[in-house]
Structure 1
Amino acid sequence: MRCVKALQLTLAVIKPDAMAHPLILEALHQKILENFIIIRKKDLIWRKADSEMFYAEHSGRFFFQRLVEFMSSGPMRAYILAREDAITHWRTMMGPTKVFRARFSSPETLRGKYGLTDTRNTTHGSDSIESAKREISFFFPEFSAEEWMMREEPHFRLGHTEYNEESQIHTVKHT
């Protein structure tokens, strides 16, 4: 993937409902692979406190407790994805948050195909550059977006990458 503009980073999360189904998980990974450069990937399980911290901005809303319980109910997978306009592209691929709406207005989206309910809607994605930075650092505290943009982004942008099947991420191709 060769790009003209600087690459943008976004966070993508495969939620526990999709992780519970290996065929859905593989389909989601393939869709991501077809559309993005995968910079980092991590499988994890949250404690309730992690979920409460991540979704703190929704505290007090009617769905908060249900969301917190669900997100700490099983494994999930987090990705750092890159491409031009990564945030918008991932959000478009996900489709509407409300699964009923996704099924009827955007059935080809990830939530339209695989979502179960508004909470169990398969995926999460950052909604802005600021939230992408915050969310990436929450899931990947060891990752420095600034350092990556300075040292690695030019190589990725120019297509000097290869996909590592074992780690399921893209790396800079060393020639």
Structure 2
Amino acid sequence: MNEKTLSILKPDVIKRNIIGKVISYIEQSGLKIITQKKMLLTKKQAELFYEVHKERPFFPDLVEFMTSGSVIVQALSGENAVSKYRTIMGATDPKQADKGTIRGDLADNIDANCVHGSDSIENAKKEIAFFFAEYELIDTE
């Protein structure tokens, strides 16, 4: 089934200048980037986006990290995009991520783990709408 999912290339990717490397994993998987933009999240935006984690002990550090530099937000499209991208990302902790995944090959640690991806079709819809207007989501193929 053709789906859309959200991808965020986190500040560590931009700071380390490995944007192209991360994108190559996405493109080689067969997923298509239908739109993307570079932005600097405000504290309020990061808190709203990660609100589901508000009560977790890592929440303040997550917000601080996600606002520490630019991010690239992307809407991806493809067959089973949500699960496919989660597989490509690898485990949250790079030490547990398989080689051949973004986190297994490129991430430094559990905090600077390169990417965010939606964890369900429902969340993908919400997360994409958080960053993109409907007119930005034209998938011409």
Q: Scaled by the length of structure 2, what TM-score is found?
A: 0.92
Alignment correspondent of 2:114: 122
Please say if residues 26 and 88 of structure 2, whose CA atoms lie closer than 8 Å, have aligned partners that are also in contact: no
CA distance in 2, matches of 1:71, 1:80: 18
Q: CA–CA distance in 2 between the matches of 1:114 and 1:29?
A: 12
Structure 1: which amino acid aligns with 2:134?
A: F
Q: What is the alpha-carbon root mean square deviation over aligned residues?
A: 1.6
Match of 2:85 among 87, 90, 98: 90
Task: Tell me whether 1:26 sits opposite 2:17 in the alignment.
Answer: no
The DSSP-based 3-state class of the residue aligned with 1:100 is coil
Deviations 1:117-146 (A, max 9, x none): 212100000010110000000111x1269x
Please name the residue that 1:163 is paired with: none
Deviates more, 1:31-40 or 1:77-86: 31-40
Q: Structure 1 unaligned runs (5+)?
A: 157-175
Residues of 1 paired with 2:100 and 2:88: CA distance? 8
8 Å Cα contact 2:62-2:111 kept in structure 1: yes
Show the counterpart of 1:15: 10
Give runs of ≥4 in structure 1 deviating > 2 Å. Answer: none
Secondary structure at the aligned position of 2:134 is classed as: coil
Q: What code does the residue aligned with 1:127 have?
A: D
Within 5 Å, give how 1:1-175 maps onto structure 2.
5=1, 7-22=2-17, 24-34=18-28, 35-102=30-97, 106-140=98-132, 142-143=133-134, 156=141
- The CA distance in 1 between the partners of 2:102 and 2:25, in whole Å, is 9
* Aligned-partner residue type, residue 30 of structure 1: S
In the TM superposition, residue 114 of structure 1 has moved relative to its aligned partner by 1.1
CA–CA distance in 2 between the matches of 1:129 and 1:79? 15
**Could you state the TM-score of these two structures normalised by the residue count of structure 1?**
0.75
Q: Secondary structure at the match of 1:97?
A: coil
**Structure of greater relative contact order (alpha carbons < 8 Å, 6+ residues apart):** 2
Aligned residues: 140
